[in-house]
Amino acid sequence: MTTIPVTTAAKSYAVNIETGLLVRVGTELAKVWSPRQVAIVTDTNVGPLYAQQVRERLTAAGFRVTVLTVPAGESSKSWAQVMRLIDALSAAQLTRSDGVLALGGGVVGDLAGFVAAIYLRGIAFAQVPTSLLAQVDSSVGGKTAIDLPTGKNLVGSFYQPDVVLIDPQTLTTLPPRMLVEGYGEILKCAALVGSDFWALVQTVAQPADILAQAAPLIRHSIAFKARVVMADEKEGGQRQLLNFGHTIGHAVELWGRGRYMHGEAVAIGLVQVARLFAAQGLMPAELTNQLRERLMAVGLPVEFPVDLTTTDLLAAMHHDKKIHDQALTWVYLTAIGQPAMHAVPLANLATWIAPVTAK
Amino acid sequence: MTTIPVTTAAKSYAVNIETGLLVRVGTELAKVWSPRQVAIVTDTNVGPLYAQQVRERLTAAGFRVTVLTVPAGESSKSWAQVMRLIDALSAAQLTRSDGVLALGGGVVGDLAGFVAAIYLRGIAFAQVPTSLLAQVDSSVGGKTAIDLPTGKNLVGSFYQPDVVLIDPQTLTTLPPRMLVEGYGEILKCAALVGSDFWALVQTVAQPADILAQAAPLIRHSIAFKARVVMADEKEGGQRQLLNFGHTIGHAVELWGRGRYMHGEAVAIGLVQVARLFAAQGLMPAELTNQLRERLMAVGLPVEFPVDLTTTDLLAAMHHDKKIHDQALTWVYLTAIGQPAMHAVPLANLATWIAPVTAK
């Protein structure tokens, strides 16, 4: 088992990664939680595959278990599901000594984490992420959230889990498109880190390679993210680096209203921000091709959708949560492994992005 | 101006108390906040009295101001109002650099604080509490919350303000019943602290004395609460002392569904817990009379409502958020200024409270 320690101001916890770890989920959880009532939050995709098994392992380890299932998909990151889950925790009489376990992808983790953060002003929380995106991205950093009609993740909190248990074997049941989208975030990390990690992604030449290399890809990504989060828990400085590819990515995702998965939109964002910064003379032009090649190798999209207008793109960008002092801070690379930041006043944004949006 | 510093793991901030402080609210806020957009959250009672004045002072100090008004009363601590306020913040395009100012009593503070805690995963928050209860109680400690049908404050977060500005002059516009209920919490603090503070409450012989002594009563209460909160931000240990009178008080308040204000229910809780612990031989009998005298002097209720059955009381107690390991921890006094705690297993609760519930 690989253990990556994460230490924040709020608490310290471990991310444990091992193929087959799900079999030991009960005993692993018992290492950090005393016997208690545990509400497993899962969705209609993951629940039928794993909830019964996890329930049995937890029960065998001395926990009293309730399983709460939400509809699969981003639309569950809603007030309606928050209220439903909170009512269910209250009906099951969970107390401050009990806990919530997220079993599923990023949606389940974000939703269950937010519910754990606000129920009784916060009860214990643990994560068993089952999608590649959740394993590499949303399970480290303590971000929880739901969406509003005006944008993604506009409501939430920073709330750290007590433990994250990752079993790469769960990826074998993941739909191919979801496996590939998770790789979009991995490639972002690899480009920011460079060195061994960038060398590793050179070996991913087709979607099947993602599965074959899952364990090292996940380890590298989490180790990087943990370093960044430890340095900067609440996104004042270094954590902004994780937004590489996200300024355009988030806007495309918001505009698409479900057409693109998060990792797909990020893939477009990575290549287009590279094109943009190359056009502005801030990023070497060959990086655009390198990023494009690695992403296209697994079939990720890299071009703006043809029906996305500049007006719509700008409108979506204005909902970016990272707008600060009427400016948007972009992350770019001066070389693989060498990130940098550049703030653009909102007033200049249309002109700034013109090199990639002008047809 | 009296300044009481509060330091928690999350942040340090000041509680500033001064008669007439409201006139300087803009300049005081400008000491802790850079120029930014500020959403004032107030209610239909306080808004008409103070919102225009505060808006003007803030605008004069360089802030851009939006005023959001919720219906007065506990029923605004609801999901519906949270969603409405969040939508309003989003519509006004508040960013992570902006802030929420609570202008009102405990309901406004709890609701606005929770909204500030979860909008964009937390934006800046400041408080101008205008009721006595909010000034002495809910403005220190970082507790924010809304209610569920099954109980009060079941959803919320710990979220510290950047500053708390208290102007005792706002108490002159408070309905007499609300002034008196605030005194219920003050008397609780005085009994826990003893010494000078207990001597001070001996001079409160009628409701008008609360107003006359408001500034020192508020100062003593906040200084005590700040000490406790600094020692124990999240209610693991010492902070539990603040629950003196609240185990019964909360249950009576929940059962009454609006019949009793919080401070009134606490007054009943203080006298009845004293009776109970006197009957159990843990508290000197004369303390019951001392508490009763001080509370009755201002017209606060001290007896159980005649139509409250033991079954209903027990049922309401089972919703207590302080239930831990199937036990309820009671706070009592061995003397004025000498608090102690006593845990009672839920299984024994009916027997334990029988001395005060048996007719």
Q: Please say if the pLDDT value at position B89 is more than 80.
A: yes
* Alpha-carbon span A62 to A118, nearest angstrom: 26
Mean pLDDT for A228-233 is: 78
* Alpha-carbon span B180 to B186, nearest angstrom: 10
Q: Which residues of chain B neighbour A154 with C-beta distances below 8 Å?
A: 86, 90, 119-120
User: Looking at the partner chain, which of B90, B153, B155 has a beta carbon nearest the beta carbon of A86?
Assistant: B155
Q: Please say if the pLDDT value at position B359 is more than 60.
A: no
| Residue A11 in contact with partner chain B when CB distance is under 8 A | no
Q: Please say if the pLDDT value at position B138 is more than 80.
A: no
Digit-coded pLDDT (tens) for B288-318: 999 999 999 999 999 999 999 999 999 999 8
Q: Which residues of chain A neighbour B147 with C-beta distances below 8 Å?
A: none
Q: Which residues of chain B neighbour A118 with C-beta distances below 8 Å?
A: 114, 118, 155-157
Digit-coded pLDDT (tens) for A239-290: 889 999 999 999 999 899 889 999 999 999 999 999 999 999 999 999 999 9
Return the pLDDT at A236.
59
Mean pLDDT for A123-147 is: 93
Coil, helix or strand at residue A134: helix
User: Looking at the partner chain, which of A93, A150, A324 has a beta carbon nearest the beta carbon of B96?
Assistant: A324
Q: Please say if the pLDDT value at position A235 is more than 60.
A: no
The residues of A annotated as belonging to the active site are 121, 143, 185, 225, 235, 239, 243, 246, 250, 262
Least-confidence region, from A132-136, A164-168, A238-242, B266-270: A238-242
Digit-coded pLDDT (tens) for A43-63: 999 999 999 999 999 999 999
Taking each helix axis from N to C end, the angle separating A262-279 and A176-193, rounded to the nearest 10 degrees, works out to 40
* Alpha-carbon span B81 to A79, nearest angstrom: 12
Verify whether the Cβ–Cβ distance A118 to B121 is below 8 Å: no
Return the pLDDT at A234.
59
Digit-coded pLDDT (tens) for B314-333: 999 987 777 888 899 999 99
- Residue spans of alpha helices (H) in chain B: 25-32, 46, 52-60, 79-91, 106-118, 132-133, 176-193, 195-201, 207-212, 214-231, 246-256, 262-279, 285-297, 310-317, 349-357
| Residue B323 in contact with partner chain A when CB distance is under 8 A | yes
Return the pLDDT at B111.
98
- What mean pLDDT value characterizes chain B? 94
* Alpha-carbon span A188 to A236, nearest angstrom: 20
* Alpha-carbon span A220 to A198, nearest angstrom: 10
Sign of CA dihedral B273, B278, B284, B290: positive
> What does the block give as tokens for B136?
């002495």
Return the pLDDT at B324.
81
Least-confidence region, from A227-231, B124-128, B155-159, B263-267: A227-231
Nearest chain B residue to A318, by CA? B93
* Residue located via tokens 């103070």: B50
- From residue B141, give the alpha-carbon distance in Å to each of B30, B93, B232, B234, B255: 23, 29, 10, 9, 26
Going along chain A from its start, the domains and CATH numbers come out as 2-173 (3.40.50.1970), 176-357 (1.20.1090.10)
The CA distance from B146 to the nearest CA of chain A, in Å, is 10
Return the pLDDT at A359.
55
The CA distance from A346 to the nearest CA of chain B, in Å, is 13
The residues of B annotated as belonging to the active site are 121, 143, 185, 225, 235, 239, 243, 246, 250, 262
User: Looking at the partner chain, which of B9, B91, B120 has a beta carbon nearest the beta carbon of A9?
Assistant: B9
* Residue located via tokens 């606060």: B300
Interface probe for A, chosen from B118, B152, B153 (most Cβ of A below 10 Å), is B118
Nearest chain B residue to A89, by CA? B154
Digit-coded pLDDT (tens) for A66-78: 999 999 999 999 9
Q: Is B110 assigned a ligand-binding role in the annotation?
A: yes
Q: Which residues of chain B neighbour A120 with C-beta distances below 8 Å?
A: 154-155, 321
User: Looking at the partner chain, which of A10, A97, A145 has a beta carbon nearest the beta carbon of B325?
Assistant: A97
Q: Which residues of chain B neighbour A143 with C-beta distances below 8 Å?
A: 121
Digit-coded pLDDT (tens) for B53-73: 999 999 999 999 999 999 999
User: Looking at the partner chain, which of A83, A93, A121 has a beta carbon nearest the beta carbon of B79?
Assistant: A83
- From residue A135, give the alpha-carbon distance in Å to each of A179, A343, B115: 11, 30, 29
Q: Is B143 assigned a ligand-binding role in the annotation?
A: yes
Least-confidence region, from A13-17, B140-144, B154-158, B181-185: B140-144
Mean pLDDT for B149-157 is: 90
Q: Please say if the pLDDT value at position A294 is more than 70.
A: yes
Q: Please say if the pLDDT value at position B143 is more than 70.
A: yes
* Residue located via tokens 């960013």: B95
Return the pLDDT at B10.
75
Mean pLDDT for B211-226 is: 96
- B129 alpha carbon, distance to own chain's centre: 10
Return the pLDDT at B233.
60
In order, the DSSP letters of B114-133 are: HHHHHBTT--EEEEEE-SHH
Band (pLDDT 50/70/90 cuts) for residue A157 is very high
ipTM above threshold 0.95: no
Fill in the amino acid letter for B94.
Answer: L
Output b/e per residue, B159-170; b: 16+ Cβ within 10 A: bbbbbbbbbbbb
Verify whether the Cβ–Cβ distance B157 to A117 is below 8 Å: yes
Sign of CA dihedral A286, A291, A292, A296: positive
Mean pLDDT for A107-132 is: 98
| Residue B324 in contact with partner chain A when CB distance is under 8 A | yes
Band (pLDDT 50/70/90 cuts) for residue A233 is low
Mean pLDDT for B115-127 is: 98
| Residue A200 in contact with partner chain B when CB distance is under 8 A | no
Question: Are the CB atoms for B193 and B337 separated by under 8 Å?
Answer: yes
- From residue A347, give the alpha-carbon distance in Å to each of A245, A315, A351, B315: 21, 13, 9, 59
The CA distance from A122 to the nearest CA of chain B, in Å, is 7
Question: Are the CB atoms for A79 and A67 separated by under 8 Å?
Answer: no
Q: Please say if the pLDDT value at position B235 is more than 70.
A: no
Numbered residues of the known binding site of A for NAD(+): 106-110, 130-131, 143, 152, 170-173
Digit-coded pLDDT (tens) for B192-214: 999 999 999 999 999 999 999 99
Q: What is the CA radius of gyration of chain A?
A: 20
Verify whether the Cβ–Cβ distance B97 to A158 is below 8 Å: no
| Residue B143 in contact with partner chain A when CB distance is under 8 A | yes
Return the pLDDT at A320.
78
| Residue B11 in contact with partner chain A when CB distance is under 8 A | no
User: Looking at the partner chain, which of B97, B118, B148 has a beta carbon nearest the beta carbon of A324?
Assistant: B97
Comparing A303 with A7, the larger pLDDT belongs to A303
